[in-house]
Amino acid sequence: MGAHENAGMTSVSFHPGKHAVKVKGGSSLMEAARLAGLELQGLCGGRGSCGKCRVLVLEGKVSEPDAEERKALSPGELRRGLRLACRTRVSGKRVEALIPPQSLLERQRIQLESELNPFKPRPPVRLVRIKVEPAGPGDARSDLSRLEEALLSSRGLKVKSFDAAAARSLGETLSSGATELEVALRGDRLVAVGEPRPRRGLLGMAVDLGTSKIAVFLVDLLSGKTLDACGIMNPQLAMGDDVITRISYALEKEDGALRLQEAARDAVNRGIFTLCKNNGLEPRDILELCVVGNTAMHHLFLGLPVRRLALSPFSPVISEQLEVEARELGMEAHPGARVFFPPPLAGYVGSDHLAAIIASRMVRRGGICLLADLGTNTELALKTPGGITCCSCASGPAFEGGCLEWGMRAAPGAVEHVALGERGELEVSTIDGAAPAGLCGSGALSALASLLEAGTVDAGGRMSAADVRVREKDGEPLFRIARRGAAQDGRGRWITLSQKDVREMQKAKGAVRAGVEMLLERAGVRAEDIDLLLLAGAFGSYLDVPSVLEIAMLPPLPPRRILQVGNAAGAGAREMLCSTAARRRASRLAAGIDYLELATYPNHEMFFAAGMMLGEEAVRGFMEKWRGLKRGGGKRHQGA
């Protein structure tokens, strides 16, 4: 790099590990970390409000703390050099910073399996072996003509179109003297040609592109069997922890939408490379892909504008299924591979929920069925004799451990379950049995249920200072859950659940319960009429059902009517990857699913306020009181 190119550039080094990059002066430490391949916590999309991306500036010139940093960090922390990476900008020749472990995105437990039904594959691609005789003297036929004649005479297959990459490969293969060929066809289109070689079958990749996690599956298209799978944290988390924040990032930041697209694409490609390497394959062995995700993830991955998703009535750019050349999206696969995108259902209900509906066989089930895919963006679908209605609940990042003072994702050491012992003591279990490090969503929910059962938290969510385990910090009560880390000698810091944390959990669970109640009311059915409740997704698979019922996040159904089914979206993606019949069924189903926009539903504020109450009696009591006041013309409740 010449001297004129170095002008205005700053060398930024991150410890531990000495990751070093050069960035333009004025770039944020968050941007530098991303270039260095380091993924920092970033729940707020760079606004500084979450305070999760803390770094310690060791050396060099950086911007002065702004108002957001002064809110998030104490004067003592700022004096020690602690800063927020998203708000701190570098200048000068050299900056060094230390990244604490808690500021990095954790390796999270990712739900890959599903308990749903097998299916009959009908792959969109077929693989055949044929023999093409060498061209004789005076034979002026093109290579493609000879291949077409061989396919027609030996297999009865006609070729009407071809991929340019397949034509190039055909010429190279025949020029090498080969006469036996392996040919891949998608319908009557030639997509791949090469010499036969050992392979594990006709292979494809299914991708569940989640807001927090990405699951990638290596699948045999002929048998439908999943050969391998891997989970990856979605690196878009560094640009916002939820869909709304990422849409804002795409609209407000220069090249924001492109950065989000590239981050997701690169993560998927890493998953493809990992699975290929682990199974002795190459990306060119992948001939078909299917990607599902919520509508924002779908649009960002495809490079579609997301502005309409931020404005009422929150409509998508397209609501039809789509097939795109893998190479057009920069995905690592065979040059002739295509990516199938099922149709999104609405602005905030995507193709991942359609995939879950397909895999759950809701249409074929008798009675009334409710599917809940719980996460940062919770989707619900209610099936009644009148059809299927879906909705989206903005439950926020609390279920993923975000927004909580001691929140973390479902990584080793996360407290995943809290129970009340016989003598009122708390019994705590962590992921992998590791030393407690923080609270994941399921742990926080079960802690809240335990405190409600013990009377430490009342039905309105208020924490009692009468409990000896409740302490006060900055005027706010907080409950001690467990000592952090391996220290059990009384010197470790306490992992706590604060009053603010309780309110965050109430908002998350209130959004879900409100969505359920509005779906039920609109359909004219009662909660007790639900014959089967399916809980899907990583959070839905690991949460403690009794705890969920204790705090009344879901209606009080008998446990025999509740089934945790794992990654239903991933199961549906694999089915549509392997089956053209499933794709047609998905398209027909999507056209017939009704969408309920909760924000415009009558009295939606009442449903949310009631949903925030803790305990079934409190939820029902709130709703009955409100309806009584409404009938009597009195002033109705405004909140819990």
Strands (E) in 294-413, as ranges, are 322-325, 338-341, 369-373, 378-384, 387-393
Question: Span 534-561, mean pLDDT?
Answer: 84
Report the DSSP beta bridge partners of residue 535. Answer: 372, 564
pLDDT grade for 475, boundaries at 50, 70 and 90: confident
What single letter denotes the amino acid at residue 380? L
Distance CA 634, CA 627 (A): 10
Q: Tens digit of pLDDT for each residue in 449-462?
A: 999 988 999 999 99
How far lies 62's CA from each of 49, 59, 107, in Å? 20, 9, 30
Report the DSSP beta bridge partners of residue 56. Answer: 82, 98
pLDDT at 361 over 60: yes
CATH number for region 203-352: 3.30.420.480
Q: Identical fold at 3-103 and 126-194?
A: yes
Is residue 362 within 8 Å of residue 210, measured between CB atoms?
no
pLDDT grade for 61, boundaries at 50, 70 and 90: very high
DSSP label at 586? H
Alpha helices of 42-163 — where are they, by DSSP H? 67-72, 75-79, 143-155
Pairing state of beta strands 387-393 and 414-420? Answer: unpaired
pLDDT at 44 over 80: no
User: Residue 249: what pLDDT?
Assistant: 93
Is residue 537 within 8 Å of residue 569, measured between CB atoms?
yes
For the chain, what are the domain ranges? 3-103, 126-194, 203-352, 363-397+506-626, 401-501
Distance CA 361, CA 367 (A): 12
User: Residue 16: what pLDDT?
Assistant: 66
Q: Tens digit of pLDDT for each residue in 405-451?
A: 888 877 788 888 888 776 667 788 888 888 888 888 888 999 999 99
**The two three-digit tokens of residue 578, written as one number:** 């392997």
User: Residue 422: what pLDDT?
Assistant: 65
From 115-124, 273-282, 376-385, 495-504, the region with the lowest mean pLDDT: 115-124
Pairing state of beta strands 203-209 and 226-233? Answer: unpaired
**The two three-digit tokens of residue 207, written as one number:** 């991708």
Distance CA 267, CA 284 (A): 18
Mean pLDDT of the chain: 86
Strands (E) in 431-489, as ranges, are 438-439, 470-473, 476-483
Higher-confidence position of 356 and 487: 356
For 168, phi then psi, to 5°, come to: -65, -45
Is residue 28 within 8 Å of residue 87, measured between CB atoms?
yes
Q: CATH topology for 363-397+506-626?
A: Nucleotidyltransferase; domain 5 (3.30.420)
Is residue 351 within 8 Å of residue 290, measured between CB atoms?
no
User: Residue 344: what pLDDT?
Assistant: 95
Asked if residue 385 has a cis previous peptide bond (ω within 30° of 0), the answer is no
pLDDT at 528 over 90: yes
Query: What architecture does CATH give domain 126-194?
Result: Roll (3.10)
Is residue 213 within 8 Å of residue 234, measured between CB atoms?
yes
**CB-based contacts of 132-141 (< 8 A; 24+ apart in sequence):** 132/174, 132/179, 132/180, 132/181, 133/179, 134/177, 134/179
pLDDT grade for 233, boundaries at 50, 70 and 90: confident
Cα 58–Cα 61–Cα 62 angle in degrees, nearest 5: 90
Higher-confidence position of 513 and 34: 513
The CATH class that applies to domain 3-103 reads alpha beta
Q: Tens digit of pLDDT for each residue in 567-616?
A: 899 999 999 999 999 999 999 999 999 999 998 899 999 999 999 999 99
Higher-confidence position of 111 and 298: 298
**The two three-digit tokens of residue 388, written as one number:** 């299927």
Question: Span 117-142, mean pLDDT?
Answer: 82
| CA Rg value for the chain | 27
* Sequence-distant (≥ 6) Cβ neighbours of residue 390 within 8 angstroms: 345, 346, 349, 353, 357, 379, 380, 381, 382, 593, 594, 595, 596
Is residue 241 within 8 Å of residue 234, measured between CB atoms?
no
User: Residue 2: what pLDDT?
Assistant: 40
